[in-house]
Structure 1
Amino acid sequence: MVGALALALILGGANLAKAESRDQTVDRLTDLLFYRVNPGLNNRKLQAGDRNYINEWQRLRAAIYPRVKPAQEVCYSPGPGDIGWEFTVINGETYEQIYDRLADIIFYSRHPQTTGQQINIGDKARSNEWLAIRREMYISNCGL
């Protein structure tokens, strides 16, 4: 009898998964994007000495938080019982604008002395750095 119960729990385990809270989803999305633009960290947990990375992660999370909404609000045809969270636009912005903003957050966290300034057209190194960050910013909504 115990064996049958264990087998039922193993086979049905996928259906018993806990739903993520909004904060858990925001943290997961922040981690996803943060580690995509910082591949050298190899997904290691940040430590107290990683002040610059922690600052970058916190700024990214602050920008992501208001853009995580219930799936029923975001997805045009959510699945049955879909009560999860999705990344979406707010205040009339486009996804392109979101990704540009997230890339700006990472870039200016790394170069705080230039915050509020546009990258000069002739500054190829910084332009290329921003473009590399921006390339990694794309995530899809409704099914991430």
Structure 2
Amino acid sequence: MKSVSKFSAVCVLALALAIAGTNLASAGSRDLESRTQAVDRFTDWFFYKVNPQLGGRKLRSDDSSAYIREWNAIRSTVDREMIATPGDCVGDAYWDFDYRSHGRSLDRIADTIWGIRDPSGDKTRADISKQEWKKLRNSIIREHFCY
């Protein structure tokens, strides 16, 4: 009788660990951010850095079409530049930019915003424009952060 109870106890314990492991794995996968969520999060971050007057509020349908065009243009560029990068833990990954070319990604985002705000697209047309572009580019510098 003792060997059957030990065997039963081991089976129950193994089953409980298997169920707990499945629940932990599925909970972890729910916490991972999808690529679309990451693109939207970064887009919001860049958009509100260059539009602080909005105070971080979500855009509404009655907002200026310029804001909506700008957000969509930033999103398109962020979507092209975003890659999966390895996280700190084995098997962990998150969405970000390639830090070897991070500056070029931010330049492209600044160029996108500049192109929407200055349709001539000529960021070098005058010294004042160079300074405005640099100010815009500096406003979107971001520190490395992950969620």
Compute the TM-score of the two structures, normalised by the length of structure 2.
Answer: 0.68
Spell out, residue by residue over 1:40-63, the C-alpha distance to the aligned partner (whole angstroms, 9 max, x if none).
110011122321011111111111
Change (3 A) 1:97 1:21: same
The TM-score with structure 1 as length reference comes to 0.70
Between Structure 1 and Structure 2, the one with more helix by share is: 2
- Report the count of equivalent residues: 120
Contact 1:103 1:133 in 2 (8 A): yes
Corresponding residue for residue 97 of structure 2: 87
User: Which residue in 2 is equivalent to 1:119?
Assistant: 124
Q: Unpaired runs of 5+ in structure 2?
A: 1-26
- The within-5 A match list for 1:121-136 is 121-122=126-127, 124=128, 126-136=129-139
Give 1:111's aligned amino acid. Answer: D
Q: Percent identity?
A: 31
Q: Which amino acid aligns with 2:104?
A: Q
Identify the match of residue 18 of structure 1 among 19, 28, 31.
31
Moved over 3 A (4+): 140-144
Counterpart of 2:43?
30
Q: Which has the higher contact order (CA 8 A, sep 6+)?
A: 1
Q: Which residue of 1 aligns with 2:57?
A: 44
